[in-house]
Structure 1
């Protein structure tokens, strides 16, 4: 096993003046801790997917059976700050992914690419969301095509471009790939990270990289109102971090066929923002208020949302429930680290219509 990183995510923290609620060790410390608790070693490569030579050399040196590609700028608000951040997001994500596709095609086309997508690629269509593909009948003829996408940010658009590029590469180069269209991840701990505090993973809560659930949990623990954008009718798919890791395992151990672009909708439940606020309020052992703010995003206030997500369950996924995760871990985790909260980072700072200013 090996890990490749250019440490860009840590750089975003410096840029934004934000940091994970839970302290994160450096990569070498984490690798050492994992070896101590598991007896397994992880090789490490430091470099950038935008450097094609580095990508080719790394793939050629390690020759993996599978590549799990999570190395992209992953924040919608970050991509909407201004022109510079939009261009950076698309260039970093799309070009890096293309370099990886070319490396696989030229070095070993049998490598299985497992790529992190997002449920945000689909947007909020007024029809059921299928798992990546759609059977279409038009003027008496039928065809199977990629599900039409209507993303809501330049970040989500970059993921759409990735998906189209991967499908194209599978079709013309006979590659094998699995696109994991992931919902909003919640939770902070897996059975593996719980083995040693040095293995702790991120808990982002700021308005740029944090999730709405993390923000609500922190606000509840601090005795602040839960800040819902608009009326809270926006519905999203969500998934426990333990299930996220399990989905990756299932995808790697059950690879796509050569020439197959396989898509899984990696989510286990769907809730509106208002429903998530209500769940947090009901689970928290104390009084909680809910406050509605003007929505900084451009999105439908209420919409139809019905997602098919059976592929990973058929491979063996047994989902955890949102309410159980909150009760088990998140309130206690925040309580132990609440002294690290920067209140200023809880409030929205990026507005979609303001992104036209460069």
Structure 2
């Protein structure tokens, strides 16, 4: 079948997308689903900083590719071996997990070896490329490719969720929400009464703020340079906010918490911000690194003496350390009950053909999550 899709032919030159129009809107051919494959009609997708990183060539990808890795939709058709979803089901597009490798068997599907292999080769988990244009292959983006009218994924990527959850909220569960909330509730597994600071109040950071609220943290401090985002952070659970362009973050965090926080979450992917997060910790505190820096970023300065004598810890968190087939339905249930607030995270809506404009806006730091409508 044919589908209109946002195709990235190659990464843009330089770092400034405001002078580029990286996405081209092309008609692609999608093969009929077979075996473990699921054809999904996209009802809503959403834009993430990872999409911008891909356009800049900051991740290992093969081109051309159909863009997008956050999406929700309806199952249109399934292959003969599919058992978990049926045509008509509402699904969130999660991530590739093979269910067989050492990491998957241990409940760490976010580290699935097949997932990394497929992402770097631009294929589905099976190694197949099911998109084409004029007979030539067009690669898959992280096994998802949600910036399209239709997409084809392997069965584990299409995760059924409650029909009562609006599609434009459901799509947020496809990356940012489970990454942020999971870092707090799963990776760190914070205790009630903990003190928390979250650096970055975008979609991931605001989800981390909500995770801390759901875990009954005592202080939840949100840090950003955009006042609009800090306002939203207060609405969804932050007890304090800090505009880091106007105040000394470390001093203010210590003031709010009488010495430092138990947990600091860095969701920006910036070495300097990572250093600040660690400085904010109280003895025995833990810094959780969530934001993914560009490949090759290694420059960070640590006070190793303080790390040792204060017994501070640093840990990475990828995709909230979650097994997504279990986590996404649970998060969807929280959203239906409005314990997890997704609507405040939606700050704009644009048709697929305005994806480039949406990426330009994201680069300026404005807004939180933009819904991309096919």
Q: Same fold (TM over 0.5)?
A: no
What is the TM-score with the length of structure 2 in the denominator? Answer: 0.24
The structure with the greater share of residues assigned to helix is: 1
